[in-house]
Chains A and B, each alone.
Chain A
Amino acid sequence: MSTSQDGTQNAAQHASKSAAAIDRARAQGRAALIGYLPAGYPSVADTIAAGIALAENGADLIEIGIPYSDPVMDGQVIQAATTEALAKGFRVPEVFDVVRGITSKTDAAVLVMTYWNPVVRMGVDEFSRRLAEAGGAGLITPDLIPDEAAEWMAASDKYGLDRVFLVAPSSSPERMKRTVDASRGFVYAVSIMGVTGARASVSSAAKSVVAAAHAAGAERVCVGLGVSNAGHVREIAEYADGVIVGTALVAAIRDGGVDAVASLTKDLSTGLTKEEA
Chain B
Amino acid sequence: MVRLMVDAPAAGSDESAVDAFLQGGRPQEPTAQGGPSLRHAPGPYFGGYGGRWMPESLIAALDELEDTFEKAKADPEFTAQIADLNKNYSGRPSLLTEAKRFAEHAGGVRIFLKREDLNHTGSHKINNVLGQALLAKRMGKTRVIAETGAGQHGVASATAAALLGLECVVYMGAEDCRRQSLNVARMELLGATVIPVTNGSQTLKDAINEALRDWVANVGNTHYLLGTAAGAHPFPAMVRYFHEVIGEEARAQILDQTGRLPDAVCACIGGGSNAIGIFHGFLDDASVKIYGFEAGGEGVETGRHAATITLGKPGVLHGARSYLMQDDDGQTIESHSISAGLDYPGVGPEHSYLADIGRVRYEPITDSEAMEAFRLLCRTEGIIPAIESAHALAGAIKVGQRLAAEDAGAASEKIVIVNLSGRGDKDVATAAEWFDLLDEDSPEAEIAKEGEQL
Query: A215 contacts the other chain (Cβ, under 8 Å)?
Result: no
Contact B55 A142 (CB under 8 A): yes
Number of interface residues of A (CB under 8 A): 40
Query: A119 contacts the other chain (Cβ, under 8 Å)?
Result: yes
Report A19 CB to chain B, min CB distance, Å: 21
- Chain A contacts of B314 at CB under 8 A? 120
Contact A121 B61 (CB under 8 A): no
Map CB proximity to A onto B49-83 as digits: 1 under 8 Å, 0 otherwise: 00111111111110100000000000000000000
Given known A70-B318, A171-B60, A179-B56, contact A195–B331 (CB-CB < 8 A): no
Tell me the residues in window 314-361 of chain B with beta carbons closer than 8 Å to chain A beta carbons.
314-318, 324, 326, 328-332
- Chain A contacts of B438 at CB under 8 A? none
Contact B329 A118 (CB under 8 A): yes
Q: Which of B179-187, B211-219, B245-253 contacts A (4 or more CB under 8 A)?
A: B211-219
A145 to B213, CA, bound (A): 17
Q: Which residue of A lies closest to B217 (CB)?
A: A194
Contact A69 B56 (CB under 8 A): no
Contact B199 A79 (CB under 8 A): yes
Query: B121 contacts the other chain (Cβ, under 8 Å)?
Result: no
Q: Which of A10-18, A46-54, A101-109, A160-168 contacts B (4 or more CB under 8 A)?
A: A160-168
Given known A166-B57, A170-B59, contact A117–B330 (CB-CB < 8 A): yes
Tell me the residues in window 145-173 of chain A with beta carbons closer than 8 Å to chain B beta carbons.
145, 147-148, 165-172
Given known A71-B209, A117-B316, contact A145–B56 (CB-CB < 8 A): yes
Contact A70 B329 (CB under 8 A): no
- Chain A contacts of B220 at CB under 8 A? 193
Report A179 CB to chain B, min CB distance, Å: 7
Report A42 CB to chain B, min CB distance, Å: 19
Residue picked from B56, B200, B206, B217, most chain A C-beta under 10 Å: B56
- Chain A contacts of B240 at CB under 8 A? none
Tell me the residues in window 73-105 of chain A with beta carbons closer than 8 Å to chain B beta carbons.
73, 75-76, 79, 83, 86, 91-92
- Chain A contacts of B55 at CB under 8 A? 72-73, 142-143, 166, 168
A121's partner among B60, B200, B213, B329 (CB-CB below 8 A) is B329
Query: A175 contacts the other chain (Cβ, under 8 Å)?
Result: yes
Query: B205 contacts the other chain (Cβ, under 8 Å)?
Result: yes
Given known A120-B315, A190-B56, contact A92–B217 (CB-CB < 8 A): no
Query: A239 contacts the other chain (Cβ, under 8 Å)?
Result: no
A169 to B216, CA, bound (A): 11
Contact B56 A193 (CB under 8 A): no
Tell me the residues in window 208-262 of chain B with beta carbons closer than 8 Å to chain A beta carbons.
209, 212-213, 216-220
A70's partner among B59, B200, B218 (CB-CB below 8 A) is B200
- Chain B contacts of A147 at CB under 8 A? 51-52
- Chain B contacts of A116 at CB under 8 A? 53, 316
Dominant SS among interface residues on chain B: mixed
- Chain B contacts of A119 at CB under 8 A? 330
Dominant SS among interface residues on chain A: loop
Given known A195-B216, A195-B217, contact A118–B330 (CB-CB < 8 A): yes
Report A221 CB to chain B, min CB distance, Å: 14
Query: A45 contacts the other chain (Cβ, under 8 Å)?
Result: no
Contact A145 B59 (CB under 8 A): yes
Report A67 CB to chain B, min CB distance, Å: 8
Query: A68 contacts the other chain (Cβ, under 8 Å)?
Result: yes
B52's partner among A69, A72, A148 (CB-CB below 8 A) is A148
A165 to B213, CA, bound (A): 19
A166's partner among B56, B206, B217, B332 (CB-CB below 8 A) is B56
Report B212 CB to chain A, min CB distance, Å: 5
Report A163 CB to chain B, min CB distance, Å: 13
Q: Which residue of B lies closest to A117 (CB)?
A: B330
- Chain B contacts of A91 at CB under 8 A? 329
Report A104 CB to chain B, min CB distance, Å: 24
Map CB proximity to A onto B294-325 as digits: 1 under 8 Å, 0 otherwise: 00000000000000000001111110000010
- Chain B contacts of A144 at CB under 8 A? 53
- Chain B contacts of A168 at CB under 8 A? 55-57, 60
A122 to B328, CA, bound (A): 8
- Chain A contacts of B61 at CB under 8 A? 170
- Chain B contacts of A117 at CB under 8 A? 315-317, 324, 326, 330, 332
- Chain A contacts of B318 at CB under 8 A? 70, 72
Report A197 CB to chain B, min CB distance, Å: 10
Contact B329 A148 (CB under 8 A): no
Given known A117-B316, A121-B330, contact A72–B212 (CB-CB < 8 A): yes
A118 to B53, CA, bound (A): 13
- Chain B contacts of A86 at CB under 8 A? 331
Contact A143 B330 (CB under 8 A): no
Q: Which residue of A lies closest to B58 (CB)?
A: A170
Report A154 CB to chain B, min CB distance, Å: 13
Report B328 CB to chain A, min CB distance, Å: 7
Contact B331 A170 (CB under 8 A): no
A86 to B333, CA, bound (A): 12
Seed contacts A70-B209, A175-B56, A195-B213; 12 additional CB < 8 Å A-B pairs: A71-B209, A117-B330, A121-B315, A148-B52, A170-B58, A170-B60, A171-B56, A171-B60, A175-B60, A179-B56, A193-B218, A194-B213
* Interface residue ranges, A against B (CB under 8 Å): 68-73, 75-76, 79, 83, 86, 91-92, 116-122, 142-145, 147-148, 165-172, 175, 179, 190, 193-195
22 contacts between A and B (CB under 8 A): A68-B331, A69-B332, A70-B206, A70-B332, A91-B329, A116-B53, A118-B330, A120-B315, A121-B329, A121-B330, A122-B330, A143-B53, A143-B54, A145-B52, A148-B52, A170-B57, A170-B58, A170-B60, A190-B56, A193-B216, A193-B218, A193-B219
